Structure 1
Amino acid sequence: MSSTTQRSTGVTPEPPSGLARFNTADDSTARAVLHEVCASRAWGSKVLARRPYATTDALFTASDAATAELTAEDLAEAMAGHPPIGRPKPGDPTSSREQSGMAGASDELRTEMLELNLAYQEKFGHVFLICASGRTGEQMRDAVRNRIDNTPEQEREIVRVELGKINRIRLTRIAEHAEGDAA
């Protein structure tokens, strides 16, 4: 419903069912849901504090603001919740879905990604973070190759942007899925 329709009818649309459930969940449950989106406690606290959300866009705005405010330590905490590209967390459907571009990768590409991940981690002290959804294994490999020459400051800001993209994808799944749907 458009804002024009809202003004003319005086009716505010109901948020998507998943968002309504998130809005009404107790703080402990909502905090656990947010932790699955982003492992940064600071991010989760900031997003939690702004409930309830009328729309998914309002949730995105809060997430983006919280991501922009993350300190270097908060970013490190967020990245610690992400497995290396090519090695999704065993038994974690979110991790597997997000890294599906590596699912059919050749052994050569997997070996190269492992080596690049290790070199990146040694240089920057954290996992290579990229919004992997919709990317092929080759695209992820090329991204780590391109980013490994960045300065730590450049990389921290790229990581912040990539984290924001990942958070939005995960928040969309929470907001739009009805109870009982596979999220």
Structure 2
Amino acid sequence: MTSTAAFDALPRPDAVAALVAVCSSVTWADRVAAGRPYGDLDSLLAAADAALADLDDLTGPLAGHPRIGERVHSGSSAKEQAGMAGASEQVRAAMAEGNAEYERRFGHVYLVCASGRTADELLAVLQDRLGNTAEEEAARTRSELAAINRLRLTGLIVQDR
């Protein structure tokens, strides 16, 4: 964790490395790092959203996210998916089946901002999203990725006091 001022002052390779830990897209990280200095968290978050909106392909960012319900033992995803820790075997099986169906339908991992959600909520969201069109789901995936990036960036930055 660092302040916005400290993040702004990082050498570019270090800033990119910190950002790749937030979102696995090197293109996104490079664009966000190039926009420094930001001066405050809100400006950094706005730049992160803009850089994500400019990405044509979400393959890179999605590659950094494990399936919801897979046992993740460390890192941001483990904390964010904490609601799955107490899931019943029935919910885990339904999540695995839903993940497989989602990937067949949409061609990528089911992505949702899981932080603070229970296993039952995550499963319900997945089942609901299986009814989306490809266009609706592309927009929703981008929105969920933006929310995850914002959550992780906020965790990275400690506001100057």
Q: Could you tell me the TM-score, scaled by structure 2's length?
A: 0.93
Q: 1:87 to 1:56 in 2, by over 3 A?
A: same
Q: 3-state SS of the aligned residue for 2:101?
A: helix
Number of corresponding residues? 160
Q: Which residue of 2 is the match for residue 25 of structure 1?
A: 10
Name the residue aligned to 2:120.
138
Greater Rg by CA: 1
Alignment of 1:68-83 (within 5 A): 68-71=53-56, 73=57, 75-83=58-66
Aligned-pair identity (%):
43
> Over aligned residue pairs, what C-alpha RMSD do you find?
1.7
Residue ranges of structure 1 left out of the alignment (5+ in a row): 1-15, 179-183
Alpha-carbon offset, residue 22 of structure 1: 1.5
Q: Is the 8 A contact 2:2 2:156 kept in 1?
A: no
Instruction: List runs of 5+ in structure 2 lacking aligned partners.
Output: none
Residue number in structure 1 paired with 2:39: 54
Change (3 A) 1:88 1:41: farther
- For 2:114 and 2:42, locate their aligned partners in 1 and report how far apart those are by CA, in whole Å: 22
Per the alignment, residue 102 of structure 1 pairs with 84
For 1:86 and 1:154, locate their aligned partners in 2 and report how far apart those are by CA, in whole Å.
23
1:150 and 2:132 are equivalent in the alignment: yes
After the TM superposition, which segments of 4 or more aligned residues of structure 1 sit over 3 Å from their partners? none
Question: CA separation in 2, counterparts of 1:17 and 1:41?
Answer: 20
What corresponds to 1:84 in structure 2?
Answer: 67
Q: Give the deviation of 1:177 after TM superposition.
A: 7.7
* TM-score, normalised by the number of residues in structure 1: 0.82
SS in 2 for 1:176: coil
- Rounded to whole Å, the distance in 2 between the matches of 1:17 and 1:76 is 29
**Are 2:39 and 1:39 aligned?**
no
What is the CA–CA distance in structure 1 between the aligned matches of 2:36 and 2:133, rounded to whole Å? 37
* Deviation at residue 57 of structure 1 after TM alignment: 0.3
